[in-house]
Amino acid sequence: MPTDLSGKWILETSDKFEEYLKKLDVDFATRKIAISLSQTKVVSQDGDDFEFKTLSTFRNYEHSFTVGLEFDEFTKGLDNRNVKSLVKWEEDKLVCTQRGEKVNRGWKHWIEGGKLYLELTCEDVICIQVFKRK
């Protein structure tokens, strides 16, 4: 049985999020808002089909994908870039590579101790967010 990430999760801790935003060239004012936000992650998982929603009072970001199928992603309302994204399972981690202007860009999700972990990477910066069940 693959890991089940589905559910509603609320952001508990965020490490190096602002550094990650800087790497994405997010401006100062937007960064200050972004780092102060409460984020809710809503994950729906049906086999290899996923829907991710990242919700906040400022902006929302949502998209769907299938594991193993590359898709075009536009990071609308985030850094507004076009990337080619591919999500795979690596053991119990759901791993996304986002090929585009920024090197070494992507994210990883996994569950540990009942919490949802998210590692966001851009170039040499790794941001780690931990979510608890809502």
User: Contact positions toward ligand YOG, by CB under 6 A?
Assistant: 21, 24, 26, 30, 34, 37, 39, 41, 52, 54, 56, 58-61, 63, 78-79, 107, 118
CB environment 27-56: b (16+ within 10 A), e (fewer): eeeebeebeebebbbbbebeeeebebebbe
Closest distance between ligand YOG and the C-beta of residue 42, in Å? 10
- What gap in Å lies between CA 113 and CA 30, rounded to an integer? 32
Closest distance between ligand YOG and the C-beta of residue 54, in Å? 4
